[in-house]
A and B are shown apart, each in its own frame.
Chain A
Amino acid sequence: MKKILLADMDKCNGCELCVDACSMSHGGFCSLSNSRIRILREEPTAQFAPLMCEQCGEHPCQDACPVKAIVFDPELSLLTVDPELCVACGDCVEACPYQGIFLGEETALKCDLCGGDPACAGLCHTGALRVVEVSPQTVASGLDRKQAKLHFIERNRHAH
């Protein structure tokens, strides 16, 4: 069954436990430079948006990649970055409308669902992050959230 990581902006309180959990599980240290999830912060309104791969159907990241480093992992049923192929050009980062893929020290970084045991959702106590199985319902509810997130990203675009 295909799984997907869902983020609920309304519940997120900006603690960034997910960010540290993600980097810790992908290299044994905590750092933004190694995390596949980040928090976009809007402090004056206490609003926060988890940014990570939304596993969108269009996957412009894959189309943008000049060396075809973003490949389908049939086991996890999602796109992952092949670190051997990735040349860290950043074209995928530009292409993703959700700001869900990042440039790490040597390669692009994209959520891989931790191989099936997501560290971030495990430490997210607000319930803002959940891993769910893909169904028509989860896809529908995910659409609204994605829209809200795109607005939020747009509003904070000047901050980058």
Chain B
Amino acid sequence: MPIDLGFKIARIDLSNCQVRVERLEADTFDLLIGGRGLAAKLLFEGQPAGADPLGPDNQLIFATGKLVGTPVPTAGQTTITSKSPATGLYFKSNTGGAWAKALRRAGWDAVVFTGVSERPVYVTIDDDQVEIHDAGELWGKTVRETEAWLHRELRGQGWDNATIGQAGENLVNFACVMTNLFHAAGRGGLGAVMGSKKLKAVSVRGTGKTPVADPTALRREIEAVLAKIDGTVKAKLYVDYGTSATVEYVNESWSMPVNNFQKSHIEDGHLISGSYLDEKRYMRKGSACSACPLGCHKYSEVRQGVFRGKSGGPEYETLAALGASLGINDVEAVLRGNELCNDYGMDTISAGGAVGWLLECVERGALPPGAAGDLDLSWGNGETMVELLHWIAHRQGIGDLLAEGTRIAAERTGGDSYQWAVQANGLEQSRVDTRVAKAYSLAFAVNPRGPDHLHAQPMAEFGHFPEARELVKRILGREEECTGTTLKGKPELVRWHEDMFALTDSLGICSFATTSSYIVSLESLALMVSAALGVEMSGEELLERGRRCVVLERCFNLREKPNRKDELPWRLMNEPISEGPLAGHVNSAQELGGLLRQYYRLQGYDLETGRPTRELLGRLELAEGVKGLDDWAQTLP
């Protein structure tokens, strides 16, 4: 069967209930591969600069890559792209589950929502039938209730749903979109964009076929990838514990953000670690995304007590954000918080960041101790955290302020409170202490979303695993840079990881396979692209397509906000780590400036402003491939 490298896109205008089908030719695949790259193009071309993130002009784009639907390991990712209400800038957020595969099987590469519906609706995509239905009954329901309702209404198996909970409905700036119940497109408030459109759910059923160019060759290469898992340390950790495996390590090396990044180590940190969750049988086997042999997505349960319940997860970021960052090492409270965030559809990183900011404001007197009624606003209180999550999702009491995210909350509160908002460009930082991870610091600063780990995850800089050291050696030609605190070689590392990450997202596979467990190498990726899609491209040619996506996303942001800066949260730039063996490290303006200049030089950006040049856009063939880009680029150096 020939492989169709063109794209079929459904454009759904919720203001007037119109559905339009659009086709793009295979030259878009050649330019940007699909998935995240395709969505970046659609976002740039499809909306005016300055569109209100919560208004009708903002597009909410669900896209998947061409490998989705084949058994290429981890090919089950959905990329959701939009302009974020938290940052006012470009935002993509990925989610797993089985939704992406359903969309591909239904024959679509992307769905673009525009407009704002008058009344709550949900949309069904049943192969090529797209319908908009009344969702009056669903409004106000949690994610779990919404899934159950859809399961009954649509009669069972075969449907995969993307939903929002109350946080999305109430326009919480860090509401997420959930797929298949427990998988989150977590960051950037894309759930609020969905809520602003009054879109409660998108349910997909696909019964079509995904052709494969060379099944025999594909099966051979997939078996080779699978055979690597057991011998690869990081991959094994994902299989056994998911991302929670990292907690203990980060805490023991004194780089865990504790009490809102004031401290670096939490007493008895093993109580919130993956091995403890496993040993005490809180965590059960995984629930894998489509085609994923790692199954890092776990499932956990608290059997008794006030925090009783079950849910998907927890991830490292959640254990750190709702646990250590708030001084909490009561794992049952964290699991309860995790469940609430899943059920309300809310990002655990930003929710934890907002609560941490509040606690510090009270600690330092910027807000009164009674800021949240009777709640005890001191560090380490699990019940307070759980209660505040309810308040945020419903915008109740101080929860209304916290729901805006820490940048806005601090602007409204004034004084020094901005110093404790551990955010940059409107996004709360992931629970990574970039003061001792210099590749991460650069990657976070240039990330178009803001300071987080999901546009480049240069974990290799620590050199913890043999595979990581090999990768560093491959990129730099030497391996002495395998520590977090050295500066040398970091811009090159970041650049490679950004390109690889964008390529990974554009093909619809999971970054854990390529940039963190390393079971899928660039060569193996090229082989699988050839076997699955019949496309002959070298690894370097594939990476270049990833780079185009990175540059295009930067252009979108500069068009929105010409003076946007590559920066990190105030605290990490101004307060050195205060304790432990890594005390004294900081991300100073001078250090970050140096890294940025080297990075700009590698990218071919203007060295002073970090803007892409017209020459670069021409050389990357973006100027001709993306409508409107060249006109905008007239303003560039």
Contacts and interface: CB of A to CB of B under 8 A. Distances in A.
Contact of A28 (B151, B215, B286, B295): B215
Interface in B355-382: none
Contacts of A11: 285
18 contacts: A20-B70, A24-B212, A24-B218, A28-B1, A28-B212, A29-B1, A29-B209, A30-B209, A31-B105, A31-B209, A34-B209, A41-B157, A44-B148, A45-B299, A46-B182, A119-B219, A123-B223, A160-B156
B51 interface: no
Interface in A5-25: 10-11, 13-17, 20-21, 24-25
Contacts of A123: 71, 219, 222-223, 226, 293
Contacts of B147: 43-44
Contacts, number: 112
A10 B182 CA distance: 19
Interface string B203-216: 00001111110010
A20 B144 CA distance: 28
B382 to A, nearest CB: 24
The binding surface of chain B is classed by DSSP as: loop
A16 B219 contact: no
A32 B105 CA distance: 9
A30 B285 contact: no
Contacts of A34: 209
A40 interface: yes
A25 B219 CA distance: 9
Given A30-B69, A43-B181, A46-B312, 11 more contacts: A13-B295, A28-B1, A31-B105, A33-B209, A46-B285, A46-B286, A46-B287, A125-B239, A156-B157, A158-B156, A159-B155
A29 B286 contact: no
A20 B291 contact: yes
A126 interface: yes
B212 A30 contact: yes
Nearest to A19: B71
The 9 closest A-B pairs by CB, nearest first: A159-B156, A125-B293, A46-B299, A15-B288, A46-B287, A20-B71, A31-B209, A13-B288, A13-B295
A13 B157 contact: no
Nearest to B312: A46
A25 B285 contact: no
B180 interface: yes
A122 interface: yes
Contacts of A15: 288-293, 295
B311 to A, nearest CB: 10
Interface residues of A, number: 34
B285 A31 contact: no
Interface string B280-304: 0000111111111101000100000
A41 B151 CA distance: 12
Contacts of B156: 158-160
Given A30-B69, A43-B147, A17 B293 contact: yes
Contacts of A29: 1, 209-212
Given A33-B207, A43-B287, A122-B223, A24 B157 contact: no
Given A32-B207, A33-B207, A16 B1 contact: no
Contacts of B299: 45-46
B210 A30 contact: yes
Contact of B208 (A10, A31, A45, A160): A31
A43 B146 CA distance: 13
Contact of B287 (A13, A30, A156, A158): A13
Contact of A125 (B182, B211, B229): B229
Contacts of B552: none
B151 A159 contact: yes
B89 interface: no
Contacts of B289: 15
Interface in A68-103: none
B582 to A, nearest CB: 37
